[in-house]
Amino acid sequence: MGLAAVERHLMVDGKACTASADDALVARARAGDASAFEQLYQKYAGRIYGLCVRLTRSPVVAEDVTQEVFVQAWRKLSDYRGESAFPSWLHRIAVNAVLGVQRAQRRRDFRLAALGWLRGRGGTSSGGDPALRLDLDAEISRLPDSARNVLVLHDVEGYRHEEIAGMLGIAPGTCKASLHHARRKLRKELEK
């Protein structure tokens, strides 16, 4: 993960959260302490749910995926070696779960657009023109899955191409090309 992404991941509710604090909670959760796991959930559920909403375009699907992510995380805690920060480990689980949903959606040719929901829902971020942010989110939701996944992970979440390529199972060059395509498309739509 890039340095900026690490810093952003480690900031929750304006407070710096050290990796060691997470490690302590993970150790307790791994030993079966559900309250420790709940603390990890309270810390990171908003980030995971936010990512899932943006990638799936549906708050309902995102809710199911978020549930699946944390249930999987609980079951796989023994596999977590601390080689990456806990939130990025969670993000990987989330991206995998979203990819599964997207594959299923493509199979069913079932398009879920959360445009209206996103328009009506405020975020926790400040800065910038709110109308522009909503337009941007709406346009992001209209991108094809592959372009949207890359753009959200790179431009919103701050991952590097190599990291995104690993998560999505694509070549870094493909990742870069998808990002440039997504940006071009966004610009074109936002300038209409």
Binding site residues, other proteins, CB under 8 A: 8, 34, 37-38, 41-42, 45-47, 49-51, 53-54, 62-63, 66-67, 70-71, 74-75, 121-129, 132-133, 136-137, 140, 151, 155-158, 176, 179-180, 183, 186-187, 190-191
Q: Residue 48 in contact with residue 90, Cβ under 8 Å?
A: yes
**Cβ count within 10 A of residue 30:** 15
In the complex, the smallest distance separating the C-beta of residue 101 from other proteins, rounded to whole angstroms, is 16
**What letter represents residue 33's amino acid?**
D
**Closer residue to other proteins, CB minimum distance, 168 or 186:** 186
**Closer residue to other proteins, CB minimum distance, 103 or 180:** 180
Q: Residue 52 in contact with residue 62, Cβ under 8 Å?
A: yes
In the complex, the smallest distance separating the C-beta of residue 18 from other proteins, rounded to whole angstroms, is 19
**Closer residue to other proteins, CB minimum distance, 83 or 86:** 86
In the complex, the smallest distance separating the C-beta of residue 156 from other proteins, rounded to whole angstroms, is 5
Residue corresponding to tokens 């910038």: 128
